[in-house]
């Protein structure tokens, strides 16, 4: 009897244990996993903004969602493989930044919803059918409007007297930058500016890129969305600009905080927070193809007066008055 009782207790314990494991596995299975795909690791404040957006919608990380990050470490040719990994791991949604990441994600899956935290002109790049009705499985936020290049050139003319030539340093194989340059050519002509395109394949190319810009009499440099954007990369790039005494404008304020002169572009922190709104709607049953893509409405201008002083440049008062952030 005692032996039979012990066996029953043991069997009951195993049953309870198996039920516990089964419940935990089921709970883990039902928790949505959100995958991130980006050519370089996203700055912490971007991800924090995304988490804050989900928190505002009532989500708690680890309880009703988890995150999975796939950073290509600056190697764009790895994005297709990383997109496939996210698909195989059966994430619920994929968040991308940049056309360079969104296209591999779209090619990897037609079923998993893709939310663009930012993407250069998604219609021309073939990501969506229209802003109002994107169709398929891609939605989110556009990274810039066709007028952005012209606005940047106007800003550069305001801060650099007698500017006639602008070098654009851009990464190789970047569809978003191809579109940006195409839409910038006409306003450059209207403003009487010549554009010089300098392509970089890796971080080691930047020193020569700035040297070429200086040797070809560029009066200013526009550094486009480089995948080489770790804190160390940003510091290295802004130091090269200062070394060559070239006024340089960047896409995001992280470069200005690292010592760069000026940045102008969409407010990425706000865009990552907005991406969380799309995720909430999709998790609640909305189809991505039915969610209109947002065009940027919030732009950010940051200026570093220390960097200006270092190269002997005076920022006009009318430009300073428009700045969202000024580092003195």
Query: For residue 202, how many other CB atoms are within 10 A of its CB?
Result: 12
Question: 109 and 253: one domain?
Answer: no
Ranking 2-11, 197-206, 261-270 by mean pLDDT, the lowest is: 2-11
Strand, coil or helix: 68: strand
- Mean pLDDT of the 56-81 span: 95
- Beta strands at 262-266 and 299-304: parallel, antiparallel or unpaired: antiparallel
| Segment holding 115, helix H or strand E | strand 114-118
Q: Is residue 2 part of a domain?
A: no
| Alpha carbon 194 to its chain's center | 28
Q: Which of 158, 167, 152, 163 is nearest to 315 (CA)?
A: 158
Question: 213 and 228: one domain?
Answer: yes
Separation CA 76–CA 174 (nearest Å) = 9
Q: Which of 97, 138, 142, 151 is nearest to 121 (CA)?
A: 142
**Environment class of 312 (CB within 10 Å of its CB; exposed 0-12, middle 13-18, buried 19+):** exposed
Strand order in the sheet with 248-250: 194-200, 165-171, 220-223, 248-250, 262-266, 299-304, 325-327
| Segment holding 166, helix H or strand E | strand 165-171
Question: 153 and 136: one domain?
Answer: no
Q: Is residue 20 part of a domain?
A: no
Question: 187 and 215: one domain?
Answer: yes
Cβ–Cβ under 8 Å, residues 248 and 260: yes
pLDDT digits (tens, 9 = 90+) for 265-322: 989 999 999 999 999 999 999 999 999 999 888 899 999 999 999 999 999 999 999 9
pLDDT digits (tens, 9 = 90+) for 200-243: 988 889 999 999 999 999 999 999 977 667 888 899 999 999 99
Q: Is residue 205 part of a domain?
A: yes
Separation CA 166–CA 205 (nearest Å) = 18
Q: What is the pLDDT of residue 52?
A: 98
Q: Is the pLDDT of residue 24 over 50?
A: no
Q: Is residue 137 part of a domain?
A: yes
**Environment class of 306 (CB within 10 Å of its CB; exposed 0-12, middle 13-18, buried 19+):** exposed
Q: Is the pLDDT of residue 10 over 50?
A: no
Q: What is the pLDDT of residue 328?
A: 92
Q: Is the pLDDT of residue 14 over 50?
A: no
Question: 283 and 313: one domain?
Answer: no
Question: 168 and 315: one domain?
Answer: yes
Q: Is residue 183 part of a domain?
A: yes
Please tell me the total number of residues recorded for the chain in this structure.
328
- Mean pLDDT of the 72-101 span: 94
Number of domains into which the chain is organized: 2
| Segment holding 151, helix H or strand E | helix 148-159
User: Could you list the residue range(s) of the whole structural domain that residue 240 is in?
Assistant: 148-266+300-327
Question: 236 and 278: one domain?
Answer: no
The band of 12, judged by pLDDT with boundaries at 50, 70 and 90, is very low
pTM exceeds cut of 0.95 = no
Separation CA 290–CA 79 (nearest Å) = 26
Question: 205 and 74: one domain?
Answer: no
Question: 322 and 212: one domain?
Answer: yes
Q: Is residue 16 part of a domain?
A: no
pLDDT digits (tens, 9 = 90+) for 109-141: 999 999 999 988 788 889 999 999 999 999 999
CA-angle at 142, arms to 82 and 133, nearest 5°? 100
Q: Is residue 157 part of a domain?
A: yes
Question: 83 and 229: one domain?
Answer: no
| Segment holding 8, helix H or strand E | helix 2-30
Question: 63 and 133: one domain?
Answer: yes
Query: For residue 317, how many other CB atoms are within 10 A of its CB?
Result: 8
Cβ–Cβ under 8 Å, residues 156 and 247: yes
- What CATH number is associated with residue 279? 3.40.50.2300
Q: Is residue 187 part of a domain?
A: yes
The band of 46, judged by pLDDT with boundaries at 50, 70 and 90, is very high
Question: 216 and 231: one domain?
Answer: yes
CA-angle at 300, arms to 298 and 305, nearest 5°? 165
Q: What is the pLDDT of residue 222?
A: 96
């Amino acid at each position: 009897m005692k032996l039979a009782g012990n066996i029953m207790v043991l069997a009951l314990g195993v049953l309870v244990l198996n039920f516990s494991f089964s419940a935990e596995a089921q709970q883990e299975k039902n928790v949505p996993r959100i995958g991130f795909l980006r050519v370089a690791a996203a700055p912490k404040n971007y991800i924090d903004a995304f988490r804050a957006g989900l928190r505002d919608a009532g989500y708690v990380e680890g309880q009703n969602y988890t995150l999975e990050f796939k950073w290509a470490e600056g190697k764009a040719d790895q994005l297709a493989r990383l997109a496939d990994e996210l698909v195989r791991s059966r994430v619920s949604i994929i968040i991308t930044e940049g056309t360079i990441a969104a296209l591999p994600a779209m090619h990897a899956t037609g079923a998993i919803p893709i939310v663009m935290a930012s993407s250069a002109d998604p219609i021309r790049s073939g990501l969506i059918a229209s802003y109002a009705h994107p169709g398929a499985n891609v939605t989110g936020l556009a990274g810039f409007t066709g007028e952005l290049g012209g606005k940047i050139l106007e800003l550069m003319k305001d801060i650099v007297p007698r500017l006639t030539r602008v070098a654009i340093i851009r990464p190789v194989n970047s569809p978003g930058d191809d579109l940006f340059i195409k839409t910038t050519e006409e306003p450059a002509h209207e403003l009487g500016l010549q554009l010089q395109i300098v392509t970089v394949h890796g971080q080691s190319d930047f020193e020569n890129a700035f040297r070429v810009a200086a040797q070809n009499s560029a009066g200013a440099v526009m550094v486009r969305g480089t995948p080489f954007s770790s804190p160390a990369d940003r510091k290295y790039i802004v130091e090269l600009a200062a070394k060559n005494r070239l006024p340089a404008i960047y896409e995001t304020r992280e470069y200005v905080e690292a010592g760069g002169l000026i940045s102008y572009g969409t407010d990425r922190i706000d865009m990552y927070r907005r991406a969380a709104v799309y995720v909430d709607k999709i998790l609640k049953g909305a189809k991505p193809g039915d969610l209109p893509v947002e065009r940027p409405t919030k732009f950010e201008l940051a200026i570093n007066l220390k960097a200006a002083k270092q190269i002997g440049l005076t920022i006009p008062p009318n430009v300073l008055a428009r700045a969202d952030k000024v580092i003195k």
